[in-house]
């Protein structure tokens, strides 16, 4: 039996590790890693997700005061099992690489076995062409909270990542959407950038995308970029410069957030093409009754509708299935019961539970006498 294998077995018996997770090709590399780490303080690792969906981890960096730093490997010469010296690759989670919060100004080499890579909270300004060509198995890529600019990214930097599901690039200096993006993508996080326009074909082919985060940018035009996203469930376009709503929504959409824009009109039947739509937030826009048709919000699927802080003078007509309606901070001066119930009787009533009309011009004595019959489910009515 080779001396290296014998020594590995002895070490494994001492530390309780299983050699089942290592193949013969990686034995020597694992031994070198173990000996190097045994001279440094250890860290504890618990997988977690960076945002609500990403696995969290907690660790302390090894102290390497008594060891000489290894030279940075060249990408083309690096062995597939090696971990860059700038990062941590926990042995018990060999497909993850943690390079976050280390003041990095460049992207280290990514070994081919990696599926989850974390580069967030650094000072990275660019992504060179071919940076991820070796790591084609990547599923999660976290690049948020850096200084990456669109003009300093390779033209096809994500082109070979055919299994990538989640891409985090929020809080950077992007002025346009990365392109092309992998068709496998399920979540795209681009909030807090400097994007001003989303061309109609920018998201073309992303049929698996379920969540799109574009809030806190400078977007003034979306075109029909959402229309072909057949799996999209959540679209966050809040805190932008939109003057009009996107041209067409996908039928799969359930959550639409467009608050803090400059939208003043919505086409008739705009929301009916999305029969699963549950939550619509359009507060802090410039909506007026003249920019709405009588049935704009009369969609049977919507459960929560936020139209607060607009310029409405009348309560728009809503469906009886609506449960929460927020209209505070408008210019409404009358309480029209027909906005909630076209017919008021024992069998016809609204399912509304929360109605906010505070901060308007309406007076309490303006509530019609048949309001309790129509709004019998309401637990909160603020005027």
Domain map (residue ranges) of the chain: 83-195, 264-382
Find residue 256's DSSP bridge partners.
235, 280
Phi-psi region of 248 (alpha: psi -120 to 50; beta: other; left: phi over 0): left
Nearest-angstrom CA–CA distance, 134 and 111: 7
Q: How confident is the model at residue 212 (pLDDT cuts 50, 70, 90)?
A: very high
Convert the pLDDT of each residue in 358-369 to its tens digit: 999 998 788 888
- C-alpha 225 chain-centroid distance: 17
CATH C-level class of 264-382: alpha beta
Convert the pLDDT of each residue in 295-326 to its tens digit: 899 999 999 999 999 999 999 999 999 999 99
Selection from 370, 307, 361, 380 nearest residue 342 by Cα: 370
Nearest-angstrom CA–CA distance, 250 and 121: 34
Is the backbone peptide bond immediately before 180 cis, with ω within 30 degrees of 0? yes
Convert the pLDDT of each residue in 100-128 to its tens digit: 999 999 999 999 999 999 999 999 999 99
Count H helices, E strands: the chain? Answer: 3, 13
Does the pLDDT at position 327 exceed 60?
Answer: yes
Selection from 149, 197, 139, 189 nearest residue 169 by Cα: 189
How much is the pLDDT for 348?
87
Does the pLDDT at position 230 exceed 60?
Answer: yes
Mean pLDDT for the stretch of residues 166-181: 96
Answer yes or no: same fold for 83-195 and 264-382.
yes
CATH number attached to the domain at 83-195? 3.80.10.10
Give one DSSP letter per residue of 188-254, joined into a string. EE--SS---B--TTTTTT-TT--EEE--SS---B-TTTTTT-TT--EEE--SS--SS--S---TT--
Give one DSSP letter per residue of 242-304, joined into a string. -SS--S---TT--EEE--SS------TTTTTT-TT--EEE--SS---GGGS-TTTB--TT--E
Does the pLDDT at position 32 exceed 50?
Answer: no
Does the pLDDT at position 161 exceed 60?
Answer: yes
């Amino acid at each position: 039996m080779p001396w290296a294998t014998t020594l590995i077995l002895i070490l494994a018996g001492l530390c309780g590790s299983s050699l089942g997770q290592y193949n013969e090709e990686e034995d020597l590399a694992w031994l070198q890693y173990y000996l190097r780490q045994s001279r440094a303080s250890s860290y504890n690792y618990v997988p977690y997700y960076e945002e609500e969906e990403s696995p969290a981890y907690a660790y302390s960096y090894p102290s390497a005061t008594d060891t000489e730093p290894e030279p940075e490997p060249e990408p083309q010469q690096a062995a597939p099992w090696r971990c860059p010296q700038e990062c941590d690759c926990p042995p018990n989670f060999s497909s993850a690489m943690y390079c976050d919060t280390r003041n990095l100004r460049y992207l280290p080499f990514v070994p081919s076995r990696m599926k989850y890579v974390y580069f967030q909270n650094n000072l990275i300004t660019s992504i060179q062409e071919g940076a991820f060509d070796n790591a084609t198995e990547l599923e999660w890529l976290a690049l948020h909270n850096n200084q990456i600019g669109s003009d300093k990214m390779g033209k096809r930097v994500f082109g070979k990542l055919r299994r990538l599901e989640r891409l985090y690039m929020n809080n950077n200096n992007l002025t346009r959407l990365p392109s092309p993006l992998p068709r496998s993508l399920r979540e795209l996080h681009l909030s807090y950038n400097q994007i001003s326009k989303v061309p109609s074909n920018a998201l073309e082919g992303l049929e698996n995308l379920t969540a799109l985060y574009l809030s806190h940018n400078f977007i003034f035009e979306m075109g029909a970029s959402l229309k072909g996203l057949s799996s999209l469930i959540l679209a966050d376009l809040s805190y932008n410069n939109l003057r009009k709503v996107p041209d067409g929504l996908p039928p799969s959409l359930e959550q639409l957030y467009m608050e803090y824009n400059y939208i003043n009109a919505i086409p008739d039947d705009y929301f009916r093409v999305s029969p699963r739509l549950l939550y619509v937030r359009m507060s802090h826009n410039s909506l007026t009754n003249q920019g709405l048709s009588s049935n704009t919000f009369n969609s049977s699927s919507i459960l929560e509708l936020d139209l607060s802080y607009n310029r409405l003078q009348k309560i728009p007509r809503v469906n009886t299935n609506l449960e929460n309606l927020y209209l505070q901070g408008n210019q409404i001066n009358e309480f029209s019961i027909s906005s909630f119930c076209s017919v008021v009787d024992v069998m016809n009533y609204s399912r509304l539970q929360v109605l906010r009309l505070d901060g308007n011009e309406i007076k309490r004595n303006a509530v019609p006498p048949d309001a309790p019959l129509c709004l019998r489910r309401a637990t909160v009515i603020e005027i």
